[in-house]
Amino acid sequence: MSFFRSARPYIIAGPCGAENREQVLTVAAALSGMNVQLLRAGVWKPRTRPGSFEGHGEAALQWLQEAKQRYNIPITTEVADPAHVELALKYGIDVLWIGARTTVNPFQVQHIADALRGVDIPVMVKNPVNPDVALWEGAIERLEKVGIKDIAAIHRGFSGYTAANGYRNQPNWPVPIELKRRRPALPVFCDPSHITGDRARIAEVSQKALDMHFDGLMIETHPTPDAALSDAAQQITPAQLATILAGLIVRDEHTHDMSGQEQLEYLRQLMDSLDAEIVDLIARRMELSAQVGAVKQLCNMTAYQPARWREIVETRGARGLTQGLTQEFITELYEKIHHESIRIQLAVLEQAAGKSVKE
């Protein structure tokens, strides 16, 4: 059985950074009495700017090793290059994880993978900082190709220029859901600490992740969060972690309630029928887009017209609100529809231009 399938939900907890021996041992002691499967702590901290706390390196690995031996709890830390891998293995780290800033760089992921060739150790891969499921999956594939068999993914959200909707990193839930669709056997965990950047929202996002069938959580936990040397606002105390874990509702993927299953199947049949209608309607709309493109070609007009796009957003958004749909959802939906419509119109214009050149 996979190392990551020993519990549901699988819980990883510990401080953002291993700051000193006492801190690591204090957290390990508290977590050893909870339903926590893995103690996490960063010993090398890839900070945005130099001069801030960047970890204690090999010394911190010794503290983790002592915590493991004293409290019989498996340990994990982030590695960003082959030298990190070598030291982590030397000190008996049980699980490695690759951070978001590393996942985004295929060259660096390959260096780490090469260092792990022939090593039997579980590895977790955080999503790249940008919402690119192919890049995320590519990092996983590089590990698979060198023989790593026990792999999990960690969803920690995606970076943006500014915080939006109160998140430090945008969750962009469709990306990890698409990874789960592509790889149904892959354990996928959620890191609500990095997504929220705010300890007050960790419980909320943790529950949402479990409701979407994530396999576990990685939650940053510190004895005195406000005094933490990094990411203080998103860390919680062990007592707060215990409260959050106790309040989580873990739902089943399937039900043995036959009446509920029958009702579910009936509703799904209705949805399937509506989905077929939606696809047919979109196809019809794209046929009209091709006709619009032909008219624009005859009138020597551009395919994209900003005023028309603004009108679509405003009118469809207003109609959506009357049906209980959010402006954000309608805008995202019509961005995709409009993008495909413009693609079709451009194809019509290009085809006409090519025909004119031949003539």
One domain, residues 156 and 266:
no
Instruction: Report the domain count for the chain.
Output: 2
One domain, residues 171 and 286:
no
**Of the candidates 154, 48, 136, 138, which has an alpha carbon nearest to the alpha carbon of residue 95?**
154
Q: In this model, does residue 269 exceed pLDDT 80?
A: yes
pLDDT of residue 258: 77
The residue among 219, 247, 275 that closes a domain is 247
Q: Tell me: the pLDDT tens digits for 159-209?
A: 976 666 789 999 999 999 999 999 999 999 999 999 999 999 999 999 999
| Least confident piece of the model among 154-163, 216-225, 226-235 | 154-163
Task: Tell me how far the alpha carbon of residue 62 is from its chain's centroid.
Answer: 30
One domain, residues 138 and 278:
no
- The CA distance from 75 to 93, in Å, is 6
**Of the candidates 226, 220, 211, which has an alpha carbon nearest to the alpha carbon of residue 156?**
220
- The CA distance from 61 to 24, in Å, is 10
One domain, residues 154 and 211:
yes
The residue among 247, 270, 289 that closes a domain is 247
In a domain, 272, yes or no: yes
User: What CATH number does the domain containing 319 carry?
Assistant: 1.20.59.10
Question: Residue 186 in 3-state DSSP?
Answer: coil
3 state SS for 268-294: HHHHHHHHHHHHHHHHHHHHHHHHHHH
Provide the strand spans (E) within 1-122. 10-14, 38-40, 75-78, 95-98
In a domain, 55, yes or no: yes
Q: Report CA dihedral (104, 105, 110, 112) to the nearest 10 degrees.
A: -80
In a domain, 253, yes or no: no
One domain, residues 350 and 273:
yes
Mean pLDDT of 284-312: 93
In a domain, 334, yes or no: yes
Question: Where residue 281 falls among pLDDT bands split at 50, 70, 90?
Answer: very high
Q: Tell me: the pLDDT tens digits for 33-43?
A: 999 999 999 99
One domain, residues 234 and 269:
no
Counting Cβ atoms within 10 Å, is residue 177 exposed (0-12), middle (13-18) or buried (19+)?
A: middle
Which amino acid is it at 212? M
pLDDT of residue 320: 94
Task: Tell me how far the alpha carbon of residue 317 is from its chain's centroid.
Answer: 28
One domain, residues 131 and 266:
no
**Mean model confidence pLDDT for the chain:** 93
pLDDT of residue 251: 87
- The CA distance from 189 to 176, in Å, is 9
One domain, residues 124 and 27:
yes
pLDDT of residue 161: 66
In a domain, 340, yes or no: yes
In a domain, 252, yes or no: no
pTM for this structure? 0.81
Cβ pair 225, 20 in contact under 8 A:
no
User: What CATH number does the domain containing 40 carry?
Assistant: 3.20.20.70
**Of the candidates 173, 137, 138, which has an alpha carbon nearest to the alpha carbon of residue 157?**
173
The residue among 247, 272, 292 that closes a domain is 247
pLDDT of residue 278: 94
**Of the candidates 255, 210, 219, which has an alpha carbon nearest to the alpha carbon of residue 237?**
219
Q: In this model, does residue 223 exceed pLDDT 80?
A: yes
One domain, residues 234 and 265:
no
One domain, residues 35 and 183:
yes
Question: Where residue 356 falls among pLDDT bands split at 50, 70, 90?
Answer: low
Residue 126 lies in domain: 3-247
One domain, residues 12 and 115:
yes
Question: Where residue 2 falls among pLDDT bands split at 50, 70, 90?
Answer: confident
pLDDT of residue 358: 55
pLDDT of residue 227: 96
CA dist 189 → 96, 144, 186 (Å)? 14, 19, 10
- The CA distance from 346 to 282, in Å, is 18
| Least confident piece of the model among 175-184, 325-334, 349-358 | 349-358
Question: Residue 313 in 3-state DSSP?
Answer: helix
One domain, residues 100 and 156:
yes
